[in-house]
Amino acid sequence: MPVSRISENALRKLVKESIDEKSTCVIKFYSNGCEYCHNLQDYYEEISDAYKEENIHFFAFNVEDATDLDSLIKINGVPSIAAVSTGGIHSRIRILEDPDPPNKHTWYFSKDIKNFIDREK
């Protein structure tokens, strides 16, 4: 499944409003000035391809596009990976914990992202 950029309005709707469709959305939060974020891009796209047969949507959100990101979602910085489950009264939001130790090139390890998605889908 391709990775799509998500706007602030779409992110706000996803995390703050009730969405009837049951699905899992995975969001990579990034910044243009973050080397880890750029290095993670290819892995993130490969991971999205691995889940193309499932009802999982992959998004990327540039934190520089947000006027007040903290009011939408609490992340520790970039890159951050979130899973949002829809189809209930409220969306359920989970944030992938920072790795210990982090990957020196991409921050997250691919297997950690896949395990997180498998737990949250």
Q: Which residue ranges make up each domain of the chain?
A: 3-120
Backbone torsions φ then ψ of 39, nearest 5 degrees: -70, -30
Parallel/antiparallel/unpaired status of strands 56-62 and 23-30: parallel
**pLDDT value for 1:** 66
**pLDDT value for 91:** 85
Rounded distance, CA 97 to CA 120, Å? 13
Check: CB of residue 30 under 8 Å from CB of residue 78.
yes
**pLDDT value for 93:** 94
- Record the pTM: 0.95
Residue (of 31, 20, 11) closest to 73 by Cα position: 11
The one-digit pLDDT tens for each residue of the chain (121 residues) are: 689 999 999 999 998 887 888 899 999 999 999 999 999 999 999 999 999 999 899 999 999 999 888 888 999 999 999 999 998 777 899 999 999 999 999 999 999 999 999 999 9
Domain formed by 3-120, architecture: 3-Layer(aba) Sandwich (3.40)
89: which residues sit within 8 A by CB, 6+ positions away? 18
Structure tokens that stand for 72 in this block: 């939408």
